């Protein structure tokens, strides 16, 4: 793995954005508390302003304000990857340079979403951003369900060959053919799985880590899964099954309110989802409350068994 990718491994929470929409400002107290919570859980870092972080619903100025606040609160506690994708290449460059200037560990850049682009257009877009960053680490962010522009392992390889600061990719897709291509490059590039139900098989086959939105709710679960893959596959399978059930409970983050209001149920006043995303209906909220209570019990039982077996006590 390249020097720029050495720190890019483990469990990274795709953090929600605690935001005061009326004041157009971060909820600093909640933000600080969440960061402390995730640090205590043992996660390796934060991934901010992506899909779970509602980055596309904030203005570029608001994204910079939130990134700066997060870096200030996380300093000395957790490294931060900032998502800086934008439909305009020039704006993605500006957001990326800002993240570099304020002390981010890396940026992750999703492709433009407004137009369907061919690979030559995507390559030129990413290379312009990567070259503007100099040696600063950059990840491609492959999430075709949101952008409509799928990337590929071949495209990643061509870009990394021309811009050595391109350290790898966060891949949020479930088609195994695409993953086979990415995993063939796992020895030289950092690869993060963003599809929670594939964590176990993709990690077993060489991926570097996990970036998860549902991990906002149960970060310890993902830390235990990641560690168990390296030592106890039976235990890892048990944690992967709980992850699957958690994803079902939050409807795979659609609507996103399942994750943000789930945090509210757990005592974190992160605020509502941003317009046009809707809040949960009463029946959905009741279902979520019950599911989270049940999953917390299941995860606790699984954790106790792990401690008894002498594996990674938390």
Summarize pLDDT for 235-261 with one digit per residue, the tens. 999 999 999 999 999 999 999 999 999
Q: Which CATH number is 3-232's, of 1.20.120.160, 3.40.190.10, 3.30.470.20, 3.20.20.70?
A: 3.20.20.70
* Euclidean distance between CA atoms 169 and 208, whole angstroms: 10
pLDDT for 300: 87
Strands (E), the chain: 10-14, 19-20, 25-26, 45-48, 80-83, 106-109, 138-142, 166-171, 190-193, 209-212
Indicate the pLDDT class of residue 305, thresholds 50, 70 and 90: low
Indicate the pLDDT class of residue 7, thresholds 50, 70 and 90: confident
Q: Give the DSSP H/E element, type plus range, for residue 299.
A: helix 282-308
Closest CA to 139 of 289, 276, 284, 4: 4
- Strand pairing partners for 25? 20
State the pTM of this model: 0.94
128 contact partners, CB below 8 Å, separation of at least 6 = 89, 93
* Euclidean distance between CA atoms 167 and 106, whole angstroms: 9
Indicate the pLDDT class of residue 306, thresholds 50, 70 and 90: low
pLDDT at 2 over 70: no
Give the Å distances, CA to CA, from 217 to 44, 58, 106, 222, 259.
Answer: 16, 23, 24, 10, 7
230 contact partners, CB below 8 Å, separation of at least 6 = none
pLDDT for 45: 98
Q: What is the dihedral of CA 227, 230, 232, 237, to 10 degrees?
A: 70
- Strand pairing partners for 210? 11, 193
């Amino acid at each position: 793995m390249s020097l720029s990718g050495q720190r890019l491994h483990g469990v990274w929470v795709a953090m929600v954005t605690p935001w005061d929409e009326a004041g157009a400002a971060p909820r600093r107290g909640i933000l600080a508390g969440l960061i402390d919570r995730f640090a205590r859980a043992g996660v390796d870092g934060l991934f901010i302003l992506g899909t779970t972080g509602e980055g596309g619903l904030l203005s570029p100025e608001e994204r910079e304000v939130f990134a700066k606040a997060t870096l200030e609160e996380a300093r000395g506690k957790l490294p931060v990857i900032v998502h800086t994708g934008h439909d305009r290449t020039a704006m993605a460059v500006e957001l990326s340079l800002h993240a570099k200037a304020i002390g981010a560990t890396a940026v992750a850049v999703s492709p433009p979403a407004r137009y369907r682009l061919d690979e030559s257009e995507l390559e030129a877009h990413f290379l312009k951003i990567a070259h503007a960053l100099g040696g600063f680490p950059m990840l491609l962010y492959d999430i075709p369900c949101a952008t409509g522009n799928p990337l590929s392992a071949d495209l990643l390889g061509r870009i990394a060959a021309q811009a050595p600061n391109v350290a790898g990719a966060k891949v949020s897709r479930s088609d195994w053919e695409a993953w086979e291509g990415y995993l063939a490059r796992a020895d030289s590039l950092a690869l993060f799985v963003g599809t929670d139900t594939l964590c176990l098989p993709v990690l077993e086959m060489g991926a570097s880590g996990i970036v998860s939105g549902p991990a906002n709710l149960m970060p310890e679960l993902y830390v235990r899964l990641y560690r168990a893959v390296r030592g106890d596959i039976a235990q890892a399978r048990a944690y992967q099954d709980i992850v699957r059930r958690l994803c079902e409970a939050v409807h795979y983050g659609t609507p996103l309110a399942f994750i943000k209001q789930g945090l509210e149920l757990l005592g974190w006043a992160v605020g509502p989802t941003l317009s046009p995303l809707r809040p949960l209906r009463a029946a959905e909220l009741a279902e979520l409350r019950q599911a989270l209570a049940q999953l917390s019990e299941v995860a606790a039982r699984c954790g106790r068994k792990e401690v008894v077996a002498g594996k990674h006590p938390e």
